[in-house]
Amino acid sequence: MHFTGTIWRPPYEANSLLIEVTAGCTHHKCKFCTLYDDLPFKFRMTPLEDVEADLAETQTQLRSWQSRQVKRVYLVGANPFVLKFEHLKEIANLIHKYFPECETIGCFSRVTDITLKTDEELRELHRLGYDGLTIGVETGDDVALAFMNKGYKAQEIVEQTHRLDKVNITYNYFYLTGVSGAGHGVEGALESAKIFNMTRPKIIGSSMLTIFPESELYQEIQNGNWAEEGELEKLQELKTLIEHLEIPTFFASLGASNAVWVQGNLPKDKKKMVAELEKVCNPDNEAALRHYRTNLQHL
């Protein structure tokens, strides 16, 4: 299989067939991100012949498991949805050639990747099976988005996901707790809730900002240009976001970056989730939570 560097996928794609179609990130400017630093290049498209070879290899391996069908394929790489429409179409056709039973195709997408497609192209991609995109929106706080070099404004999240809604492509969000910085966590959560409430994500997965020395954000801290939220402020931020979300969605703090895990369906489980966070929002817990953060070797 043609995999390059560390392979990242959302936790909820654990049962999907993973196929690499890109490596690295086209943007690669977010100050907090170190996910693709192990690659010797910024971004690379996987040749279609390698994609087909991986699909053929997987098909051969699965033949011995006669009851195993591939219902979903998840295309890996930081943002495969940046690929041109015709290229995504060719990939989908290859998937259906080897796995005609495949129902949906997912991948990571930047907000700006959606803008590259016309409405008609998005409609056709949905017909080909593209659905359940995961978008690393991080926040709805424009100040934080600008400082972190995300490359879009909060209103663009609304505009572009509305285009996905129109063609019935579903999507999920990654929210990055702590990205607004010390003293601004609650404000960032309120801004994010306001933006998210205008959209329809099926899942909101929350990671918690962890700053590694090799990141640009670490240098900003050393230069006195930004300060990290304390661990309790991050939890208060997370609680505020959950409290102010009014849309039906599944919310979960996902991955190793979260020392405290909460999950549930909103709005049904909101009170339970808020209560769980209130229990740990105790000043006595700051040191233990910080110990967890500083000893986290990898996301």
**CATH architecture, domain 11-294:** Alpha-Beta Horseshoe (3.80)
Instruction: Quote the mean pLDDT of the chain.
Output: 96
The gap from C-alpha 238 to its chain's centroid, in whole angstroms, comes to 16
Longest dimension (CA), the chain: 59
Whole-number pLDDT of residue 219: 98
**Which bin fits 278, alpha (ψ -120 to 50), beta or left (φ > 0)?**
alpha
Calpha distance 6→257 (Å, rounded): 17
pLDDT given at position 38: 87
pLDDT by residue (tens digit) across 171-222? Answer: 999 999 999 999 999 999 999 999 999 999 999 999 999 999 999 999 999 9
Q: What letter represents residue 168's amino acid?
A: N
What per-residue confidence (pLDDT) applies to 66? 62
Q: What is the pLDDT of residue 192?
A: 98
What the block records as the tokens of 201 is 């994500």
Question: Given this model, what pLDDT does residue 40 score?
Answer: 85
What is d(CA 246, CA 139) in angstroms, rounded to the nearest whole number?
16
- Pairwise CA distance, residues 25 & 110, whole Å: 10
Structure confidence by residue, pLDDT tens digits, 158-174: 999 999 999 999 999 99
Instruction: Give percent of the chain with pLDDT exceeding 70.
Output: 99
Q: Whose CA is closest to 161, among 194, 200, 134, 125?
A: 200
d(CA 203, CA 266): 10
Question: What is the tens place of the pLDDT at every residue in 25-78?
Answer: 999 999 999 999 888 888 999 999 999 999 999 999 887 776 678 999 999 999
* pLDDT greater than 90 at residue 13: yes
Domain spans in the chain, listed from the N-terminal domain onward: 11-294
Examine the pLDDT at 150 and tell me if it is beyond 80: yes
Two tokens, residue 143 = 């100040």
Query: What is the spatial distance between Cα 170 and Cα 103, in angstroms, rounded to a whole number?
Result: 14
When pLDDT is cut at 50, 70 and 90, the band that residue 298 belongs to is: confident
- Pick from 33, 27, 30: nearest CA to 6: 33
Tokens 């995300």 correspond to what residue? 150
Q: How far is residue 7's CA from residue 42's CA, in Å, rounded to a whole number?
A: 15
Residue 286: exposure state from Cβ atoms within 10 A (0-12, 13-18, ≥19): middle
Residue 226 and residue 251: Cα distance in Å, rounded? 28
Regarding beta strands 43-45 and 22-24, do their DSSP bridges make them parallel or antiparallel, or are they unpaired?
A: antiparallel
pLDDT score of 297: 86
Q: Can you tell me the distance from the alpha carbon of 265 to that of 138, in angstroms, rounded to the nearest whole number?
A: 20
